[in-house]
Structure 1
Amino acid sequence: MRISRILLLLVPVATQVFKEDITAGNSKCRFDNKCGFHQDTTYSWCFVDYSDYWGSCCTDSCRITGRDFLWCPTGGTTYQHCGGHSTKDVLGRQCLENHPCGTHFEEGGNGVHWCFVDLNQNWGYCCAPRDKCDYNGERYKWCHISGDVTSTRWQYCKNDE
């Protein structure tokens, strides 16, 4: 019994299962352009809308590697921050089960993480996969909402996820 417990600790925990129609940032691929190695690229990607916005796609499950960042392989030796860790917005509201935090370009997203929180399409910002709701050196909790690591876009938050 002890051996099985030890083995379970050594297996990395998948936080998001690889899907051919979902980007690393949790956006849905266009129905006519699933994840793949398009245009002779060495990484997997898909278009997420008809304005040629695109997103990197995981070729395996999203996993925690290194620091607190979530990563997945996208092909060859390339890796991408990946989503799926948060099911609540920055205010602590539960995201709809079929609409987790992501960039969701196909629904008017603009590079920030968000989710629908009810069937009336009310929505809320989400912390980016590379970040979490914390004090981060301030007197109030906040997190980055953009998946771009150079972005300074942030929101106050209450979510401890």
Structure 2
Amino acid sequence: MIITRLLLLLVPVATEVFKTNFTAGNTRCRYDNTCGFHQGTEYSWCYRDYSDGWGYCCTDYCRMQPRDYLWCPSGKSWQHCGGFKTKDISGRPCLEDHLCGMHYEEGENGYHWCLVDLNRNWGYCCAPHSACANRGYSYTWCYISGDITYYDWQYCQRE
């Protein structure tokens, strides 16, 4: 009971801590538009690029759901959110401003992926709940989908 109370004191609430430069899916916001409740919306968001593409932002930490996916609140709604891995399943480094993440909007099936070069080439990433491992096989693999009930996987190289 004391530990629970202590942990509650250590967890910050949705304040200035979450005025970040990354969407829930780990895409960098435009430098002139950080996450926030812009234009009177009930959810936090930012523009990701200059074609007015936008993404939801977290207003609290990502956390694991019972169905094994990561989510975060975004005002009055919630969003899938990604981990912060820096390499795709082939071992290619992700671009610094586009780390592994879900990179999709609420309600869509998604995969963890990142951009690996300036030509917008991309690669799948292991989901945060799934490390690249043998799991009894002669090859290494991991789940790439956001929810393990979806069971989409790929071969991978260990980081």
Q: 1:132 & 1:39 partners in 2: Cα distance? A: 39
Aligned length: 143
Secondary structure of the equivalent of 2:72?
A: strand
Indicate the percent of aligned positions where both proteins have the same amino acid: 56
What pairs up with 1:12-161 in 2 under 5 angstroms?
18-76=18-76, 78-92=77-91, 100-102=99-101, 113-114=113-114, 116=116, 124-128=123-127, 141=141, 143-144=143-144, 155-159=154-158
Using structure 2 for the length normalisation, give the TM-score.
Answer: 0.59
1:92 deviates by 4.5
Q: 2:55 & 2:132 partners in 1: Cα distance? A: 24
Is the contact made by 1:24 and 1:80 (CA closer than 8 Å) also made in structure 2? yes
Structure 1 letter corresponding to 2:62: C
Using structure 1 for the length normalisation, give the TM-score.
Answer: 0.58
Is the contact made by 2:27 and 2:97 (CA closer than 8 Å) also made in structure 1? no
In structure 2, relative to structure 1, the CA distance for the partners of 1:131 and 1:45 (3 Å cut) is: farther
Gaps of 5+ in 2: 104-110
Is the contact made by 1:81 and 1:129 (CA closer than 8 Å) also made in structure 2? no
In structure 2, relative to structure 1, the CA distance for the partners of 1:38 and 1:19 (3 Å cut) is: closer
Q: 1:157 & 1:55 partners in 2: Cα distance? A: 28
Q: 2:36 & 2:113 partners in 1: Cα distance? A: 23
1:68 deviates by 1.6
Gaps of 5+ in 1: 105-110
CA-atom RMSD, angstroms?
A: 4.6
Q: 1:94 & 1:50 partners in 2: Cα distance? A: 25
